Amino acid sequence: MIGYRIHVRAVPLALTVALALGCFAASSAVAGHMSDWTHDHSKKGIPPRPSGLAGLIDVFGQRCSDKATNARSWWPHADPNDGSGAYVEYHTYLARTIGYNVRNHINAAHKDGALYPGIGSYNCRLIAGTSSWSVHSWGAAVDTNWQRNFRGQTFWNGRGADGIDHGTYIPDVWRGGYPGHRFFWGLNWSNPDPMHFQYVTNY
Amino acid sequence: MVIKLVIGAVAAVSAAAGMLSGMAGGVPVAEVNAAPSARCPAVRTFDRGAPRALAAGGGMWAVSGGKLVSVSTSRSMTPAGEGVGIVRHVAADPRAGTAYVIDRAGDDELVVVTSEGTRRFSEPAEVTHPTWSAHGDLAWATGDGVAMLDGDTGRIDRLPAPTEGATVFSPVFMSGDRVAAVVSAPPTARVPEGERLSNLWSVRVDGGRWRRMTSFHARGDRWVALRTPLKQRASVAFVKVIGDATADRPPRFELWRLEGGAARRVARLSQERYLAGTRGSRLVWNVPDPATGRQDLAIERAGGDLLTIGCGAVMVDPADVVDPDRAAHGGTHVPPRGSWSSLEARGHEGDAEEIAVIVGDFATTEQASSVAQTILAAYPTSEVEVVDAAMSPLAIRPGVYGALLHLPLQADPTSALAKFRSVLPQFAANSWIVTP
């Protein structure tokens, strides 16, 4: 992959030209094969995953803070209203593993069509009926394809926005060990939540 | 102005590809050992007479470290027969006895201890918030409704939720023949989980139609949650929590009182807290420690400040034990082993991938360029560029532009963004960490 980078001492004309060149180069790169891209399995790429509420606070800090929204990536089909693309915001602790590992993985495998509305991460809310805060309040969980995988459903519906059944492709990228990315899948809970993937266990 | 085009290979990716360990390496399995603790200080166990103390229902009881704790005597006991569950939500009344929930993965159990002995009620539901009436009747929530145990006949009646899909919790007796509960509105397409709106509703204990007693509303991102209603003389006190789901600021907490058919705000609360009971005419609060989640018990003094009187969860979820419904073990939906052809992508375990700070979104390249020059002035040795969705498709949406500051390979994203915002505070509200 080769990209064109512009040091911004450039004049506007140069910027325009460079942008055009960049567009061409980047388009070619995006159209490449999975082999063009590798997981970041460094410790920063897949950081330690906390356990329990105290561990969650220790790693991610206070809930509903700006740190929980300070990283973002662009996800097609994310908007639950019309299926258009939307930003997903999450904690900077997960910047590499969500932004690079998971999002890039799906994109590099040409599987964006496996996504389905809605998709989101940061959401400052109490869990319904409890005094416990949702892991989304720390930007440490992602709900994906929720319009086909609502809470309480006991299975994963893998049909994506492209109308194809992708099986458990999307959960497989998020969950567990290699080649997943260590997110805990809510389908494992006794009150199943198939849309839900979180970077903490025992909470 | 110097025009400088840097043909920058995204070399780290390709270079790292040659150093792969492949499948054998797998993902590091590091876990964080939680150094802080949500545990309460230990208290002595009852030497003897714990069952009698439970049956007497005197004083305040709470749950701590998986044990029932008598707050007034600072003694604890491990409930018999709890099995693999955890204890939570305890209601004690000197006129009746003590009731508590054993939360298990799946079916839960309600344990009722009175002078007549101990009774256990297994429920195929999430059991929460037992509460006594003045006449010795008991109510508890099952999520989809309220269950009522007649203290005289032992008969159980069930009152289904007023709205299909709603979550019902925290029942409280308004009188001998009427019970109120918090009803949380069903999920929607925009809010698929988490609390969006709750109100207090009431119903006759012998059935009939539910009647809504409060009229709180939630619009857009705004959500309203009611918690821990508590009967106090002729009124019901409760905590109202108001938040904005996508805003990065803490929700507000308020004490409200429902009296004579009208709800009014009594006070804004300075911190997160929930009602736990009363001592005389004063309210007792569960106050979570923001650093660990530990639930302290505190009483409000005349000046409004809080005096800690103990530790443990009464009608809130204990933070020092794992909810069996959310425990990590036992899950069956883990990745299969073997061929994963559709997922094939190797991993590298050397340097971390590059991240960047983006400032956006701008309608024109000129706007983005102006910001990029400001960034470059503050970071003269760094690489700064103007990007759009074709160049950075995962970092920015189509049709807009951003100014991108590349960070060193090993940069810590949290501290790098904090530094960026301290150096260039004018971009604090529209800067994020992204993958370039």
- All residues of chain B having their beta carbon less than 8 Å from the beta carbon of residue A29 are 10
pLDDT, one tens digit per residue, over A153-186 is 999 999 999 999 999 999 999 987 666 788 999 9
> Facing residues of B388 across strands?
none
Out of A4, A26, A104, name the one closest to residue B435 (CB). A104
Q: How confident is the model at residue B349 (pLDDT cuts 50, 70, 90)?
A: low
Summarize the confidence of residues B406-410 as an average pLDDT. Answer: 92
How far is residue B359's CA from residue B377's CA, in Å, rounded to a whole number? 15
Question: CB distance from B337 to chain A under 8 Å?
Answer: no
Instruction: Mean pLDDT check: name the lowest of A21-25, B43-47, B242-246.
Output: A21-25
Contact at CB, A189 and B334, closer than 8 angstroms: no
- Cβ contacts (< 8 Å) between A189 and chain B: which residues? 325-326, 331
The reported pLDDT for the residue numbered B28 is: 39
Amino acid B151: pLDDT: 93
Per residue in A82-133, pLDDT (tens digit) is 999 999 999 999 999 999 999 999 999 999 999 999 999 999 999 999 999 9
- The predicted pLDDT at position B94 comes to 95
Shortest Cα–Cα distance, A188 to chain B (Å): 4
Q: What is the predicted pLDDT for the residue at A46?
A: 87
Q: How confident is the model at residue B12 (pLDDT cuts 50, 70, 90)?
A: very low
**pLDDT score, position B293:** 85
pLDDT, greater one: A30 or A67: A67
pLDDT at B429: 95
Over residues B110-134, mean pLDDT: 95
Select from A57, A125, A131 the Cβ nearest to the Cβ of B194: A125
Q: What is the pLDDT of residues B34-68, one digit of tens each?
A: 456 778 888 889 878 788 999 999 999 999 988 99
Statement: residue B83 has pLDDT above 80: no
- Say yes or no for a CB contact (<8 Å) between A203 and B106: no
Interchain CB distance below 8 Å, A11 and B3:
yes
Check whether A32 has a pLDDT greater than 60: no
For the entire predicted model, the pTM comes to: 0.87
For B5, the closest of A18, A71, A122 (CB atoms) is A18
Q: How confident is the model at residue A40 (pLDDT cuts 50, 70, 90)?
A: confident
> Per residue in A45-79, pLDDT tens?
889 999 999 999 999 999 999 999 999 999 999 99
Output the average pLDDT for chain B. Answer: 87
Give the pLDDT confidence score for residue B231 in this predicted structure. 96
Q: What is residue B77's predicted lDDT score, i.e. its pLDDT?
A: 92
For the stretch B96-113, pLDDT in tens is 999 999 999 889 999 999
| B17 has a chain A CB within 8 A of its CB | yes
Interface test with B, best of A53, A60, A146 (most B CBs within 10 A): A53
Alpha carbon of B227 to those of A132, B32, B101, B237, B243: distances in Å? 11, 32, 18, 10, 14
Distance from CA of B48 to the nearest CA of A (A): 33
Quick one: which of A170, A177, A178, A175 has its CA closest to B22? A178
Sheet strands side by side (includes A184-185): A141-143, A196-198, A184-185
B195, B396, B403 member nearest A126 (Cβ): B195
Chain A CB within 8 Å of residue B9 CB: yes
Q: Which residue has the higher pLDDT, B358 or B354?
A: B358
- Partner-chain contact A38 B20, CB within 8 Å: yes
Q: What pLDDT was estimated at residue A42? A: 82
Which of these, B227, B193, B290, B320, lies nearest to A125 by C-alpha position?
A: B193
Identify the residue among B242, B314, B326, B405 best suited for mutation to test binding to A, counting A beta carbons within 10 A and taking the highest: B326
Chain B CB contacts of A103 under 8 Å are 394, 435
**Confidence band, pLDDT 50/70/90 cuts, at residue A35:** low
Flag if A99 and B355 touch (Cβ within 8 Å): yes
Tokens of A63: 């809930």
B361-390 residues touching A, CB cutoff 8 A: 365-366, 369, 372-373, 375-376, 383-390
Closest CA–CA distance from residue B174 to any residue of chain A (Å): 20
CA distances from B394 to A95, A168, B339 (A): 12, 22, 28
**Quick one: average pLDDT of B359-386?**
97
Whole-number Å distance between alpha carbons of A33 and A12 = 34
Distance CA B61, CA B56 (A): 11
Confidence at residue A190, expressed as pLDDT on a 0 to 100 scale: 87
